[in-house]
Structure 1
């Protein structure tokens, strides 16, 4: 007769509170994403995509509202439309890059603008990525890639 012992399970039985604390500590915190779009349909569509992937999402209807959100909370990524009334995406990106406390936040443009000139301008004002609305898989890949780059930038 052979008896197999699960040492991990025995340790958990001996000190369940400690094991629970270690399990919670090992889980990564949810990434927080700020989604900015003046069109409610797209705001909610993007929110749904991101929440389905496990992200915590806050939305804003324009650049000014996005800046207010950035002033009171930390975000791992900002996804922004370009064409919005008031503070548009161009100005939002420039504003974020000009503020040292939020300047390193990754920025993804999500827009209907598809010209090479718009892509170049996005890079110039500080966007890290650029996606045309809305291919879900490409969007998900862009979000994942920018979050990974943001993590790498914070650890170096």
Structure 2
């Protein structure tokens, strides 16, 4: 039996300690907003918060979360930063297919919680492990700046303005 709090609700789970958090959320608790992408922690679609820190749930066993708090996309609206990020995502029309957006939002909330007014470089670094096949990176960056209240500061580290076709989050950090 593993005791964990998920989205503010205490849970007693009868699962193997090696079961990835992703499958506990999806298969045992029917919380399907957290998505399976690569299964190796490289794409970010499965991002959730463990005690407030963004983690890849597809490679993190539930035993790591014993006695801790897991927050998934289903309850991020209960967080004031989460509310701002979700509103900014809508205002900037970030999503296209939407598959990666839960993980993108979870990473953005984690960033803004620790760094309330991030630079473009900080955004790029924090979001580099979240892949978007639709290429909405410029809108993601703009939405993060909007949620931080710094949308007028969206520039490259060299001071040039961000262009609509700008390539962001160039590297996947393992």
TM-score w.r.t. the length of structure 2 is 0.25
- Name the one with the larger helix percent: 1
TM-score (norm 1): 0.27
* Higher relative contact order (Cα pairs below 8 Å, separated by 6+ residues): 2
